[in-house]
Chains A and B, each alone.
Chain A
Amino acid sequence: MRVLAPERRVDFAAIRKDFPIFQQKAHGKPLIYLDSTATTQKPVAVIEALAHYYRTYNANIHRGVYAIAEEATARYEEVRGKVARILHARSPHEIVFTRGTTESVNLVSNAWGRKNVGPGDVIVLTEMEHHSNLVPWQILAQERGAAIRYIPFDATGKLDLSGLDRLLEGPVKIVALTHMSNVLGTVNPVAEIARRAHARGALVLVDAAQSLPHLGVDVQQLDCDFLAFSAHKMLGPTGTGALYGKREHLESMPPFLGGGEMIREVKLEGSTWNEVPWKFEAGTMNIADTIAFGTAIDYIEKIGFDVIAEHSRELAAETMRALGGIPGVTIYGPPAAERGGIVAFTLDDIHAHDVATVLDHEGVAVRAGHHCAMPLHAKLGVAATTRVSFYVYNLPSDIEVLVEGVRKAKQVFHR
Chain B
Amino acid sequence: MSLDDFYRQTILDHYQNPRNWGTLEKPDITAQDANPLCGDEIRIDLKIKDDKVEAVRFSGKGCSISRAAASMLTEAIEGKTLDEVKLINRDDVLDMLGIELGPVRLKCALLALKTLKVGVYGVQQNWPGEED
Q: List residues of A whose CB falls within 8 A of some B CB.
A: 351-354, 357-358, 361, 368-370, 374, 377, 383-384, 408, 412-413, 415
Contact = CB atoms under 8 A, between A and B. Distances in A.
A384 B39 contact: yes
Contacts of A383: 38-41, 61
Interface of B: 2-3, 6-7, 12, 15-16, 37-41, 61-65, 105, 108
Contact of A361 (B3, B12, B39, B62): B3
A357 B40 contact: no
B2 A374 contact: no
A415 B108 CA distance: 23
A383 to B, nearest CB: 4
Contacts of B15: 413
Given A351-B62, A353-B105, A369 B39 contact: yes
A370 B6 contact: no
Contacts of B40: 383-384
Given A357-B6, A357-B105, A361-B6, A413 B64 contact: yes
* A-B pairs with lowest CB-CB distance, top 4: A351-B63, A353-B63, A383-B39, A369-B38
Given A361-B3, A383-B61, A413-B64, A353 B108 contact: yes
Contacts of A353: 38, 63-65, 105, 108
Contacts of A352: 38, 63
Chain A contact residues: helix, strand, loop or mixed: helix
A412 B37 contact: no
Contacts of B61: 351, 383
Contacts of B7: 354, 357-358, 412
A358 B105 CA distance: 13
A370 B38 CA distance: 6
Given A358-B3, A358-B7, A369-B37, 9 more contacts: A351-B64, A353-B63, A357-B105, A361-B3, A361-B6, A374-B39, A377-B39, A384-B39, A413-B15
B110 to A, nearest CB: 14
A384 B12 contact: no
Most buried by A among B2, B7, B16: B7
Contacts of A358: 3, 7
28 contacts: A351-B62, A351-B63, A353-B38, A353-B63, A353-B108, A354-B63, A354-B64, A357-B6, A357-B105, A358-B3, A358-B7, A361-B2, A361-B3, A361-B6, A368-B38, A369-B38, A370-B38, A370-B39, A374-B39, A377-B39, A383-B61, A384-B38, A384-B39, A408-B3, A412-B3, A412-B12, A413-B12, A413-B16
Most buried by A among B3, B16, B37: B3
A377 B7 CA distance: 27
Contacts of A370: 38-39
A195 B104 CA distance: 43
B41 to A, nearest CB: 7
A411 to B, nearest CB: 10
A368 B38 CA distance: 7
Most buried by B among A353, A357, A374: A353
Nearest to A355: B63
A3 B39 CA distance: 42
Contacts of B63: 351-354
A351 B15 CA distance: 11
A353 B15 CA distance: 13
A408 B3 CA distance: 10
A371 to B, nearest CB: 10
B35 to A, nearest CB: 9
